[in-house]
Structure 1
Amino acid sequence: MINSSQVSYFTLGAYTDIGLLRYLCFIIIMFIYCLIICANVFLIVVICMNRSLHEPMYMFLCSLFATELCASSGLFPFLLLQILSDVHTVSVPLCFLQILCLYSYANMEFFTLAIMSYDRYLAICFPLQYNSRMTSKKVVALIAAALLLAVLEVGVLISLSASLQLCGNIINKVYCDNYTIVRLACSDTSVNNIYGMTYMFTLILGLIILILYTYFRILRVCFSGSKQTRQKAVSTCTPHLASLLNFSFGCFFEIVQSRFDMSRVPNILRIILSLYFLTCQPLFNPVIYGLNLTKIRVICKNLVFGRM
């Protein structure tokens, strides 16, 4: 038995030798990464530079884009390096740093989507009280609290995993995953499993229930309101629900890969599923929000075609 602190590296076993096709994969993933960077940076700049977008909904969107930008920048360069490399290993500190980046991103994404659903709930169900309830200070406090909780929860998860005694160092994925490291342990993992299950159900299930409840209340108001109210609700809530559904699918695929034996699944399919989790939101959200929210769409058109 060896302690995780005595392991010098982990081997990522999901990569396969694809010969010259690695360069094609590198170009495709690099193109996706550049798209993510350009789209998210562009929308962050648009929101920050236009006073008309300095409203709670757009500030939460800015936080969402910034989260996806940071997560992509923390994960994609390593992925690109591994594709070109012949030895697919990662040092222990970098492995845990990847886990911190990956899980914090997932946490922050769910927290932000929950906050945005609460924001839409206040805007549609309590329009006259919205400005007094959702102040700029409250917006900053909600974003800061989400970030702090996301990092703290993952910090506890990593500290529990780092103290485990391991029987191996092979991770059958294209990047580091906490539960895969726990499965390598020879020592008792009951505390890790209890915390992991509690963490997963309280975070994912709890936030999804909160989001569904707010949208149930929104639907009640819409069906009892005017046609204009229904149109406003649909135009602002549809992108949010689409984003939630898309990210939930990405998380589901990621959980399935971590919790079940995927040795019979072709490596290329496992890589595609992992890429879907990494790209489902950073690519999807700029498109869905940029095209569906009128203010952002109009300002983007003006910038692209040079009309002030």
Structure 2
Amino acid sequence: MSEIKFLYSALVFLCFTMIVLSNCAVISTIKLHGDLQEPMYIFIGFLCLNGLYGSVAFFPLFFINLLSKTQVISYSGCLIQVFCFHTYFGCELTILAVMAFDRYLSICNPLRYHSIMTLTTVFKLIGVAWFYVIILITIHVILTIRLPLCGSVIEKVYCDNWSVVNLSCIDTTVNNVYGLLITATIIGLMPGLILFSYVQILKTCVHSSKDFRGKALQTCTPHLVTMSYFVADILFEILLPRFPNTYLPIELRVLMSVQNFFIVPLLHPLIYGWTLKEIRVRLLKMLRARKCVDFQFNL
């Protein structure tokens, strides 16, 4: 990839800039408009915030490595990457699960929704979603730190726990078992809870009016698209190391391994910020107001 590294670097910088600007725009729109201080929009804001967290943890070092002759990271830096990336992946799924629960209450129990889903409850759910993942991943990283390493080459463009554990020269059964536990409790359980919520929503929609089904579809489809794409890419990342390095071209392996850092953080503002009318209208008003201020200032 080093033959056209400057082209790759320019594309990476452009993508990172787009991610930061688009996610910040959605977060700012939700924060500055009091009528958007509702559970659904707050969850969207935290989803965008998590996308920023994963992007900031990935892009700067990736950009530097593209321009460097040798791609090197310290052991402590590698472990920090492991923690950041795994918490990013985990929090993405737990927040999506909380959003599915919110949609279930809104559609299946509309009369009780506002009494149950208060702002206090919203922030408690977000706190639990983050705390749950942070605890699991912290234990995961601690189990990895105890391993002595017999190698220093990772066959990926970033550090993940599997790559570091594979460098160990002692038995890693405990790490492998705990890794399976995390896979079951996050990558298995969260999509399962999401699908369960949407099955209940589907049952409610079957017996509802056409307008009700249309509104439910409008709010639920972006959520399902994001979840499906994210889970599919994570499963690819889990299965990919099980195949020989020669099974797929290196360019395709790299492209597939970084999709969740490039595509998903851009999907959030595009899908939620543009598809949902409430956010789109206010975002456009903010942009027009900013243009008017700049024009008057230039005059």
Q: What TM-score, normalized to structure 1?
A: 0.91
Partner of 2:53: 70
Partners of 1:155 and 1:243 lie apart in 2 by 26
8 A Cα contact 1:22 1:83, kept in partner: yes
Question: Match for 1:122: what amino acid?
Answer: L
Equivalent residue runs for 1:29-68 within 5 Å: 29-68=12-51
Q: Which whole-Å CA distance do the structure 1 matches of 2:106 and 2:172 have between them?
A: 45
Is 1:176 the equivalent of 2:148? no
Q: Aligned partners of 2:226, 2:275: CA distance in 1, in Å?
A: 12
Question: What's the CA shift for 1:94?
Answer: 0.3
Structure 2 residue matching 1:179: 3-state secondary structure: helix
Match of 1:96 among 74, 79, 89: 79
Is the Cα contact below 8 Å between 1:254 and 1:277 reproduced in 2? no
> Match of 1:7?
none
Moved over 4 A (4+): none
One-letter amino acid of the counterpart of residue 94, structure 2: F
Give per-residue Cα distances to partners, 1:96-128, cap 9 Å, x unaligned. 000111000000000000000000000000000
Unaligned runs of 5+ in 1: 1-15
Aligned to 1:235: 218
Distance 1:71 1:96 in 2: 15
Q: CA deviation at 1:264?
A: 4.2
Distance 1:195 1:260 in 2: 21
- RMSD over aligned Cα atoms: 1.4
* CA distance in structure 2 between the partners assigned to 1:87 and 1:195 by the alignment: 33
C-alpha distance after superposition, 1:60-85 (max 9, x if no partner) = 11110111111101110000000001
Instruction: Select which of 73, 78, 82 maps to 2:65.
Output: 82
Provide the secondary structure at the position in 2 that maps to 1:150.
Answer: helix
Among 227, 238, 251, the residue aligned to 1:268: 251
Question: What are the superposed Cα offsets for residues 179-221 of structure 1, whole Å, 9 maximum, x if unpaired?
Answer: 1111222211111111000110121111111110100000000
- Judge conservation of contact 1:96–1:158 (CA < 8 Å) in 2: yes
Report the structure, 1 or 2, having the larger helix content. Answer: 2
Worse overlay, 294-303 or 34-43: 294-303
Runs of 5+ consecutive residues of structure 2 not aligned to the other structure: 293-299
Give the Cα separation in 2 of the matches to 1:264 and 1:198. 28
2:284 alignment partner in structure 1: 301
Summarize deviations over 1:40-71 as a string: whole Å, max 9, x none.
00100000000110000011111101111111
Q: Give the Cα separation in 1 of the matches to 2:73 and 2:239.
A: 23
Tell me, in whole angstroms, the C-alpha distance in 1 between the residues paired with 2:92 and 2:76.
24
Which residue does the alignment assign to 1:223?
206
Distance apart, 1:246 and its partner CA: 1.5
CA contact (8 A) 1:72 1:278 kept: yes
1:283-294 paired onto structure 2 within 5 Å: 283-294=266-277
Q: Give the counterpart letter for 1:51 in structure 2.
A: G
> Could you say which structure has the higher strand fraction?
1
State the alpha-carbon separation in 2 of the partners of residues 259 and 132 from structure 1: 48
Asked if residue 282 in structure 1 is aligned to residue 265 in structure 2, the reply is yes
Moved more, 78-87 or 265-274: 265-274
- C-alpha displacement of 1:136: 0.7
Q: One-letter code of the match for 1:124?
A: I
Q: Return the letter of the residue paired with 1:256.
A: L
Aligned match of 2:131: 148
| CA shift for structure 1 position 305 | 2.8
Alpha-carbon separation, structure 1, partners of 2:264 and 2:186: 18
> CA–CA distance in 1 between the matches of 2:269 and 2:194?
21
What one-letter code is carried by the residue in structure 2 that aligns with 1:78?
Answer: L
Residues 226-278 of structure 1, C-alpha deviations (whole Å, 9 max, x = no match) = 11210110010011001111111221222223343334432222221122121
Tell me how many residue pairs correspond in the alignment: 291
Matching residue's letter, 1:212: L
- Say whether 1:24 aligns with 2:7: yes
Answering whether residue 228 of structure 2 is matched by residue 245 of structure 1, we say yes
Structure 1 distance, partners of 2:101, 2:217, is 15
Matched with 2:189 is: 206
Most deviating of 247-256 and 116-125: 247-256
